[in-house]
Structure 1
């Protein structure tokens, strides 16, 4: 089917056939999705607006639809893959290439995702926006091991490195990457949902700059060089780690998960009838809880964990899974961590918040845990 023969759809304020684009992305129709965005560019739409005001919000909607259990994990992955290919098509549109070539050349920058971070679309959006503005961009993609990132910085000497992370549990790795990049003399800008809506964790982890989205990041870089990195150590940024609570939790995570699973079998008789798939999903849920718990201890931020727990309760409820099981999970973790006051306090606080949330007295929040990529 040719572009002109494609069925029409309602156009939003951006001038893009938004209904048709959503249908194409969520049904995995890469050709239809590409036709729609190419038509918008042919009609003169600004490519940066297309990337950030159409594709990025659409991807955020994919994440919300997954959270509400209106699309499957497979559909979410397919939609993300289509969006990534659409971004690639946009980058090769003649108007986009002409604009990138005509822009001033402010310098070279590396864009990468933190080690362990697979949500690459926000970083890809930033890379394409920076190219539109003339930057020479080394886009390194998802899951970049820190030693390889450092080697790249030594070899290329960029003016800055932009590090993206969407999931808060990657923040300990982000801290190590920030410090390592700065040790090469390279300023670090960070972005993504992991750092919080106000960038609170960016400052805590010693980043030289934070941006809430790709446009803000590009604007900040356009104003001039980032500040020279200041010397600092992890122990100086997060002195609370001296109590060894985080180290203990991360070292004993497998044992903690096993203890919780064993305890749940005795406390929730229905688990005896679980299928292998249900048991595996329960183990995954507990592992995620322990991982977020450890990250909250690393950052010394109880709100990160309590928000994740209420978000998890909502996710389970949307899937008709009793969220009450979260309460014995917290109780069983507390049994193993009574000798660590920070851990015990956090678990007790989370239990109160979850109980209030389940009774309908408290709103929930994702705590940086949404599925799918956002504009970050």
Structure 2
């Protein structure tokens, strides 16, 4: 049986957070407190029907990705939105664990590198579809939100996680997220001084990227105190416990903590 990481309410169809172990992106289906109070019988036909639809979307999107069938994915996204799924929840509660599943299949040798790359490219197109729906339904966000810089650790070439994080932060009105990509540390320092972000979020996929992350954290530590963003490091290397310490930075395994960071 899988360990459980992503909590999803089967009734209101919303992503509710993460639980340990953080390196496992399997999904647990239950009811959030609000829905449980409204539907105390979790085996009621209506509750079961909602849960079955969620699982069907998950498995159908996986099969569409394995066939590289974008038209089917478009219909699945349309059906999910019609069922009151929030776009950001499709990203976090369905697409993210699917990407994890594909990554595990590649690591175990059950699929090829080509298969993994094709599914990732398919997922990029699904994210594009969902981004369009988010733009159509966007509401005016609060003014005065802090700016966060989101950046992959040098050597981390996977862009999906950082894109999904950006959408989630924007949806939560946590901040104004800006995805950046700097190899030259001097240019990174100049960009920070110019834009004055409150946080610099780094996504580290592998422990081999640690030296680069330490260098970035040290760079930020040398900036003037009034222009120095807080450095937060996440990603698979952190969630899996492969990296447990970065000097001058805070490590975050639970995405919800980003909404409360000072």
The normalised TM-score by structure 1 is 0.50
Task: Say yes or no: does 1:223 pair with 2:223.
Answer: no
Higher alpha-carbon deviation: 152-161 or 54-63? 152-161
Greater fraction helix: 1
Runs of 5+ unmatched residues, structure 1: 1-10, 226-376
> Any unmatched runs of 5+ in structure 2?
1-50
* Contact residue 113 and residue 123 of structure 1 kept, 8 A: yes
1:45 aligns with: 85
Residues 17 and 150 (structure 1), Cα distance of their counterparts in 2 relative to 1, 3 Å cut: same
Residue of structure 1 equivalent to 2:215? 176
Tell me what 1:29 maps to: 69
C-alpha distance in 2 between matches for 1:59 and 1:130? 20
Q: CA distance change for structure 1 residues 33 and 140 in 2, over 3 Å: closer, same or farther? A: farther
Q: 1:205 aligns with which of 246, 250, 260?
A: 246
After the TM superposition, which residues 1-376 of structure 1 pair with which residues of structure 2 at under 5 Å, given as runs?
A: 12=52, 14=54, 17-94=57-134, 97-99=137-139, 101-102=140-141, 106-134=145-173, 135-140=175-180, 144-184=183-223, 185-198=228-241, 200-201=243-244, 204-212=245-253, 216-217=254-255, 219-225=256-262
8 Å Cα contact 2:87/2:133 also seen in 1: no
Looking at structure 2, the residues matched to 136 and 16 of structure 1 have their Cα atoms a distance apart, in angstroms, of 34
SS for the counterpart of 2:202 is strand
| Deviations 1:298-320 (CA, angstroms, capped at 9, x unpaired) | xxxxxxxxxxxxxxxxxxxxxxx
- Quote the Cα distance in structure 2 between the aligned partners of 1:21 and 1:224: 33
- Any conservation in 2 of the 1:108–1:137 contact (CA below 8 Å)? yes
Identify the structure with the greater strand proportion.
2
> 1:248-305 deviations in whole A, cap 9, x for unaligned?
xxxxxxxxxxxxxxxxxxxxxxxxxxxxxxxxxxxxxxxxxxxxxxxxxxxxxxxxxx
Pairwise CA RMSD:
2.6
Q: What is the Cα deviation at residue 12 of structure 1? A: 4.8
Normalising by structure 2, report the TM-score: 0.70
The total of aligned residue pairs comes to 208
Compare CA radii of gyration and give the structure with the larger one.
Answer: 1
